[in-house]
Amino acid sequence: MAAPAKRITLPRARKPAEIREIFSRFQAANPEPKGELDHTNAFTLLVAVVLSAQATDAGVNKATRALFAIADTPEKMLALGEEAVREYVKTIGLFRTKAKNVIALCERLIAEFGGEVPATREALESLPGVGRKTANVVLNIAFGEITHAVDTHVFRIANRLRIAPGKNVLQVELGLEKAVPPEFGRHAHHWLILHGRYTCKALRPECLRCIQNDLCDSADKRIA
């Protein structure tokens, strides 16, 4: 007989006042956080985010610097062709599939959206290589919408700080939509990403310099 599946017990979500305090501290420390993917317009942002799946922002920026200098519109990227795009992004993981998707999404943008990046989740997710997280990033950065793009860092911090505990990324995203006070919404996922990337790391969180240290009661907390 197979062993029963192990139940995952989620931590209890924080009270609204505590969540407000967390984001107030993030805001005081970094009032205007920015995404770390280099881009010049909505199209290059979209391509950069598609390329960033399972890759670092620094690695993507290194590969796209020369690419975006000559191809910053769907028309220019399509004229460049898949083989050339592949050469530019070959240092990025899954580069063959990603180059194919970039060309395919350019074709779709030109054929269905007049060469413009659409501003709705449904339209964005209809593009090759674009999933919910990518759509959320583009909607937030390019169009100023309040969205919560949940990557591995956001997932970790939302659970560790008990802002929006969840077993999967969708649960965390929907939890953040309810938990994050509206005035912090536009920047919330940037603060969480940066906090996870540079302070509250997966294996060795730097708790002694964390601005949320006194509020954190995570089992992963390091006290020395």
* Residues involved in catalysis: 133, 151
Amino acid 148 reads: H
CA distance 186 to 195: 16
Q: Which two tokens stand for residue 80?
A: 């460049």
Contact indicator for 192, 157 with CB cutoff of 8 Å = yes
Rg, Å, the chain Cα set: 19
CA distance 142 to 56: 20
Q: Dihedral (C-alpha) 120, 129, 72, 93: value to the nearest 10 degrees?
A: 140
Contact indicator for 159, 178 with CB cutoff of 8 Å = no
- Tell me the DSSP string of 172-201: HHHHHHHHS-GGGHHHHHHHHHHHHHHTS-
Q: At 170, phi and psi to the nearest 5?
A: -70, -40
Q: Which two tokens stand for residue 204?
A: 């060795």
